[in-house]
Structure 1
Amino acid sequence: MKARIFALTMIITVSAFANCGKTEVVSEDKVKTTFANPVWDGADPWMTQQGDDYVYCYSANNSIMLSRSKYLTRKGELKRIWQAPANSWNSHSVWAPEIHFVDGHWYVYYAAGSTPGSPFINQRTGVLRSKTSDAFSDYEDMGMLYTGDNPDDPESNVWAIDMTILEHNGKLFAIWSGWKEQRDTDATPQHLYIQEMENPYTLKGTRVLLSSPEESWETGGPLNLNEGAQILKNGDQVFVVYSCRESWLKEYRQGMLQLNDPDGDLLDPANWTKKGPVFEGTAQVHGVGHVSFVKSPDGTEDWIVYHSKKTTEPGWDRNVRMQPFTWNADGTPNFGTPVPAGKEIDRPSGEAEIEAAEAQ
Structure 2
Amino acid sequence: MKKALLALLFYQVILVGCTTSAVAPDKTGTGRQATAATSYFTNPIADGADPWVIKKDGYYYSCSSGNGGIYVTKSDKLTELGERVKVWETPDTGWNQSNVWAPELHPFNGKWYIYYAAAKKPGSPFVYQRSGVLESVSDDVFGPYEDKGMLYTGDSIQNPASAKWAIDLTTLKLNGQLYAIWSGWEQNAETDKTKQHLYIAPMSNPWIISSNRVKISSPTESWETGGPLDLNEGPEVLKHQGKVFVIYSTRESWLKDYRLGQLALTDTTLSPLEPENWNKSGPVFQGTDEVYGVGHASFTTSPDGTENWIIYHSKKTTKPGWERDIRLQQFTWNADGSPNFGIPLPAGVPIKVPSGEE
Normalising by structure 2, what TM-score?
0.91
Give the stretch that moved more between structures: 73-82 or 340-349.
73-82
Deviation (angstroms), 1:260? 2.8
3-state secondary structure, aligned to 1:77:
coil
In the alignment, what sits opposite 1:228?
Answer: 234
| 1:173-188 superposed matches below 5 A | 173-188=179-194
In the alignment, what sits opposite 1:277?
Answer: 283
In the alignment, what sits opposite 1:240?
Answer: 246
Letter paired with 1:125:
S
Distance 1:200 1:125 in 2: 13
Letter paired with 2:104:
E
Identity %: 55
Distance 1:221 1:60 in 2: 28
- The alignment status of 1:320 with 2:326, answered yes or no, reads yes
Distance 1:46 1:221 in 2: 26
Change (3 A) 1:21 1:230: farther
Letter paired with 1:60:
G
| 1:292-303 superposed matches below 5 A | 292-303=298-309
| 1:160-179 superposed matches below 5 A | 160-179=166-185
Q: Give 2:224's match in structure 1, choosing from 194, 218, 223.
A: 218
Unaligned runs of 5+ in 1: 1-7, 353-360
Alignment size in residue pairs: 341
| 1:19-168 superposed matches below 5 A | 27=34, 29-168=35-174
How far does the alpha carbon of each residue in 1:109-140 deviate from its partner, in whole angstroms, 9 at most, with x for none?
00000011110000000100011122123111
Deviation (angstroms), 1:21? 11
Distance 1:114 1:260 in 2: 39
3-state secondary structure, aligned to 1:176:
strand
Distance 2:31 2:178 in 1: 51
Letter paired with 1:239:
F
Letter paired with 2:178:
L
How far does the alpha carbon of each residue in 1:24-57 deviate from its partner, in whole angstroms, 9 at most, with x for none?
6774x43111000000100000000121111010
3-state secondary structure, aligned to 2:161:
helix
- The alignment status of 1:286 with 2:292, answered yes or no, reads yes
Deviation (angstroms), 1:261? 1.3
Deviation (angstroms), 1:75? 2.4
Change (3 A) 1:23 1:55: farther
- Runs of 4+ residues over 3 Å off in structure 1: 19-27
Letter paired with 2:107:
F
Deviation (angstroms), 1:20? 11
Change (3 A) 1:82 1:22: farther
- The alignment status of 1:350 with 2:356, answered yes or no, reads yes
CA RMSD in angstroms comes to 2.0
